[in-house]
Amino acid sequence: MELRVFERRPRWGPELQRQFLGDRTIQVVNCGLIRDMCPTDPGHRVALLLDMRHAQADVLQLLGNLQRHRTAAVVIVMIGTDDSELEWTIRELGAGDVVVGEVDGASLARLCRRQLLADRLRPENASQ
């Protein structure tokens, strides 16, 4: 599965590439533009890691669009502690996980793996 990372400066993209080195089932792709985050092929499932500290309004709009169009994607959103009051709004918009505050690379990789595995185990995705 492709894991698309949207962030201000390359931090998590390279770290996750290092964490998933040797794992051929996960391809990490850095996306500098929010429009590059959306899957264009409905049959192509993607995972999205969105750093909301980069562009809060754009991330919220993307989450709304994904929900409105019923786009099937694994979504993980990272927010700062100052924005922790938005956690449940983000979850209601379809995020599978919300990371509040700082996290280390190994923990973030575990979280991504857990979400990707849960997605693969869903009956509607078992054939993909």
| pLDDT tens for the 128 residues of the chain, in order | 889 999 888 899 999 999 999 898 889 998 888 878 877 776 677 899 999 987 899 999 999 988 888 877 889 999 999 999 999 999 999 999 999 999 999 999 999 999 888 887 777 665 55
| Domain parsing of the chain, residue ranges | 2-125
pTM: 0.88
What per-residue confidence (pLDDT) applies to 34?
81
What pLDDT score does 42 carry?
A: 66
- CATH superfamily of domain region 2-125: Response regulator (3.40.50.2300)
- Per-residue burial over 100-118, b if 16 or more Cβ lie within 10 Å, else e, is beeeeeeebbebbbebbee
**Alpha-carbon distance 67 to 93, whole Å?**
6
In this prediction, residue 48 carries a pLDDT of 93
pLDDT for the residue 65: 87
